[in-house]
Structure 1
């Protein structure tokens, strides 16, 4: 057996040759620099960064971080926590089950990027570096120090000594696993150690509550960013922070806890979302919230078709339009050709039913196709729907949809005397029109989540997954592929139609341009599919998160003008490059994309 010359260094213990990172600084020095730099960054946020309040956020106060300083404070705190955890600090090791080095690198890089972006923005806005106060210079030096220290940490974890130079990677992995289990059993038998114990149930529930509260705070902060520089800084900090937590293994650990308490998580998420309107003083951001929920609900319905059944549907937004147009026609609009005003529950059921019928009619002749051919046909259906409602104006076709003018003046929803268009006071909080619709849409989202969850766990759900993985093998096992795919198509269309009935009342007007394949403002088929893939196919929370990001980011990047779609597309490319399985993937897809990381690579005798 050969001995590796490069050995892992445990903090506080000497080694023959310390590991070195990208810049050649010894590992223990780099770890100290990263930790100290993170702590100094936190201190710098309590100092003034500029002398004038002309820069947005007013960074002139001492002892009170504001604006972009808050984001730098969060990044510095994460860097410091991960740095202390890398030393094995008691109570912090729980935060880094997968190791702290990668998390330190990402947190330090994100903090450096946010701080230096702020300094450059201050200089560009005010006219030079002379407008910086000492706090700004300290932040620049501290974040640079933390970044250099993080770069000194090894990028690859040292591998153990090979059992046999001729062994394959899998054989080596089996050997070391066997050896570790034998050692653990011997230690437990001798009483030297104890098997790791699970947290008590109340502690796990508290962790779920903390995670949901953090999610609500981050979501509310992202929507409420009042100027462009703050939102860009928020994107940098949130992106690097989330990736750092994922690399540390904390995201997977919390996900395992939430999967164990699924009912508690579902109820807690609903309560946290319902609290959002009560955190707003007006309808400015509740408007964005209700549109995000509509987008997310439709994306979750598409997730049944794409994520579970594996059917590439590029015309899914048409089912949203079917539901919206149906509700608009029977809700008493003066632009409707039908003199009908049904109560909302009836129009909602009718819109969902009509969308389901369209799903069956479109799916029956087309679902025998696969892959790209199915995608082309569904794309054609989406365009046919748009052109049909555009021409049904009484001139080019029957007078049904009022053509390009659409159906306007759709009345507000009124359920049991509760007018969703009026302000209401609940528990001392005044909620306005869009907040009312937010709560209604939240209830519909909950219904869709329950339907998705029950369907995916059922026999038909397992059949969908089997069809997605290998349709030929599924057919050989007795699964009726056509019937199973048709059920998925019809169910997805029903859920989209249900969301469309609320959209018609929220927007007051439905027009053909709202249901194009690609449109600047979501929802559209391209954005819906991107939300499913970006968030995580086959999961519940993935499309919800993906839809929120894909709606919020374009809405906040309008200051880029013509470069908005360029920046947005670049962000999507980077996310898909570094996390192709999605932001919140299921375990199966994560293994598909990262199978090479499941077994360690074999080091050669030379250590190369």
Structure 2
């Protein structure tokens, strides 16, 4: 089902008119940031100046410039390259994505001004011109004929160009994340998300996304090293801000847990709605063995031992719940795992010395968990690194980076192994896999135990990071958010799950002003994702074709080398 209701015949007849409308819209979008958008400087980042665009207005200008390039590039390339390479790009589709992204961006800003200042009357003429320009651009691009699929993904590029592109992408990512965390205005944060989504959509339509994916497959080591270098550099951009680093560490804990769940759901295809219990098991074990004054156990082993015990206890719980229940599947498995998550929470509440052994202090949990002291390094004390003071949360941030690196190595190797191929076979067709000699029950059990172990490791770090552990931290809603991160990002992928985890943990922190409607917004986003991109934000080619079996255009886009490589995994 296409979003564009205009018929191809109408597009061919009015394509020149559409191009002119879109061109006018692009020019107005570029010029409108130099006009005032609001009557008061209390809205967003002060959009009251004439010929003085604010940083947010510059984002709208950038979207207008991208739209203008998409409209003019085919003609310029056709002249310069005699049309030979202009067909590599789908410029019309890129223009449509840029126009739609600009409309969403301007609409968010206009609504934000109205909300923060008390009505649409506070939006000045510059904002209305920008909104009309975006509408003109969308209407004009709808009249443009559809392009042939972009073929840039099959172009082989020199190594220096790919490595330089990776460096630029990582640097831009670091700057965007730092800017987003430093921004206190939630409307600006949402507008920034709309801007990034629009630019990414344009790059995907132009074929730059498939090109980047295919080229980085040849330089995967450089990509991974660059990503970790950027992640390592992030605390140095925060100027000692403990608030931002606290959010960042929470994001990493959530991401590490989601990667563990990705083994169960993304690879093995087992719908687990109680996965948060394994994170809680690791956290409670670490808190009990932490030496806290509120712990009923007097043993305080080194943290390395505690981590291993936490992971083993969580994996044993995975075996206990998996052994009797993994002979069922689908909705029945989901119901059983949901019940297990609730049972775990209630058991932790009952281990208060009254209804059961005194281990967890009941609903009060175990407060006063001391900071880690690993090999003489006190995570609770600030340290100076490369001339920059690194606070408590930054210390845990670096530790969690190592944990995520470990989980990524485990996940990648399992995915490439016979075990990973067996999980994928079970996910695709359990009966067929069993008929081909795959040990279905054993691999399911291993997936549950392995995913639980990784969650237990993340839980052990979380206990010391949060200082206290209570049963109410591990409710069903947390399991739902973890599952949503896997589905939203892209099941069976590493980058996709990390991206989904970052979005789902970061957005609630920045959208507290709509606290009552956060779940409604979250549900609406998931519905839109399931409608327009069910394979996730970052999906493998195999899953894209699974969800779009009848899409011949998508099949044509698949790089044969990538398809063969994935088929060999």
What TM-score do you get using the length of structure 1 for normalisation? 0.83
1:270-303 alpha-carbon deviations (Å, 9 max, x no partner): 1111111111121121111111111111111111
Greater mean deviation of Cα atoms: 73-82 or 306-315: 73-82
Q: Does 1:451 align with 2:372?
A: no
Q: CA deviation at 1:505?
A: 0.8
Q: CA deviation at 1:354?
A: 1.5
- Separation in 2, partners of 1:419, 1:129: 53
- Asked if structure 1 preserves the Cα contact closer than 8 Å seen for 2:155 and 2:211, the reply is no
Q: CA deviation at 1:368?
A: 2.0
Q: Does 1:145 align with 2:133?
A: no
**2:199 maps to which of 241, 252, 260:** 241
Change (3 A) 1:470 1:122: closer
SS at match of 2:535: coil
Q: CA deviation at 1:546?
A: 0.7
Q: CA deviation at 1:599?
A: 5.7
1:539-598 alpha-carbon deviations (Å, 9 max, x no partner): 111111111111122222221232221122112211221111100011111001112112
- Asked if structure 2 preserves the Cα contact closer than 8 Å seen for 1:85 and 1:93, the reply is no
Q: Does 1:565 align with 2:519?
A: yes
Equivalent residue, structure 1, for 2:486:
532
Change (3 A) 1:98 1:583: farther
SS at match of 2:476: coil
**1:109 maps to which of 100, 113, 121:** 100
**1:299 maps to which of 237, 258, 272:** 258
SS at match of 1:485: helix
- Separation in 2, partners of 1:363, 1:239: 39
- Separation in 1, partners of 2:514, 2:475: 23
Equivalent residue, structure 2, for 1:388:
347
- Asked if structure 1 preserves the Cα contact closer than 8 Å seen for 2:44 and 2:112, the reply is no
SS at match of 2:480: helix
- Asked if structure 2 preserves the Cα contact closer than 8 Å seen for 1:313 and 1:374, the reply is yes
Gaps (5+ residues) in structure 1? 1-17, 160-195, 519-523, 602-608
- Asked if structure 2 preserves the Cα contact closer than 8 Å seen for 1:96 and 1:250, the reply is no
Residues 319-334 of structure 1 mapped to structure 2, 5 A cutoff: 319-334=278-293
**2:389 maps to which of 415, 418, 430:** 430
1:441-496 alpha-carbon deviations (Å, 9 max, x no partner): 11100110111001100111111111111122112222111111111111101110
Q: CA deviation at 1:268?
A: 1.1
**1:487 maps to which of 424, 446, 465:** 446
Q: CA deviation at 1:221?
A: 3.0
- Separation in 1, partners of 2:285, 2:236: 32
Change (3 A) 1:25 1:138: farther
1:391-435 alpha-carbon deviations (Å, 9 max, x no partner): 000011110111000011101112222221122221122221111
Equivalent residue, structure 1, for 2:545:
591
Equivalent residue, structure 2, for 1:278:
236
Q: CA deviation at 1:123?
A: 4.7
Change (3 A) 1:84 1:447: farther
- Asked if structure 1 preserves the Cα contact closer than 8 Å seen for 2:156 and 2:215, the reply is no
- Asked if structure 2 preserves the Cα contact closer than 8 Å seen for 1:96 and 1:248, the reply is no
Equivalent residue, structure 1, for 2:16:
28
SS at match of 2:389: strand
- Separation in 1, partners of 2:182, 2:119: 29
- Separation in 2, partners of 1:97, 1:216: 30
Q: Does 1:199 align with 2:157?
A: yes
- Separation in 2, partners of 1:359, 1:600: 39
Q: Does 1:462 align with 2:413?
A: no
Greater Rg by CA: 1
- Asked if structure 2 preserves the Cα contact closer than 8 Å seen for 1:58 and 1:67, the reply is no
1:62-98 alpha-carbon deviations (Å, 9 max, x no partner): 5553243133133223222322334353699989955
Equivalent residue, structure 1, for 2:564:
none
- Separation in 1, partners of 2:332, 2:402: 36
SS at match of 2:491: coil
**1:81 maps to which of 54, 69, 78:** 69
Q: Number of matched residues?
A: 542
- Separation in 2, partners of 1:96, 1:310: 39
SS at match of 1:65: coil
Equivalent residue, structure 1, for 2:26:
38
Change (3 A) 1:431 1:466: same
What TM-score do you get using the length of structure 2 for normalisation? 0.88
SS at match of 1:108: helix
Q: Does 1:346 align with 2:295?
A: no
Greater mean deviation of Cα atoms: 117-126 or 419-428: 117-126
Q: CA deviation at 1:116?
A: 3.8
Q: Does 1:118 align with 2:109?
A: yes
SS at match of 2:285: helix
Change (3 A) 1:536 1:135: same
**2:53 maps to which of 42, 53, 65:** 65
- Asked if structure 2 preserves the Cα contact closer than 8 Å seen for 1:323 and 1:352, the reply is yes
Gaps (5+ residues) in structure 2? 1-7, 556-569
Q: CA deviation at 1:600?
A: 9.7
Equivalent residue, structure 2, for 1:554:
508
Q: CA deviation at 1:40?
A: 3.7
**2:277 maps to which of 299, 304, 318:** 318
Residues 396-411 of structure 1 mapped to structure 2, 5 A cutoff: 396-411=355-370
Q: Does 1:512 align with 2:471?
A: yes
Change (3 A) 1:511 1:56: same
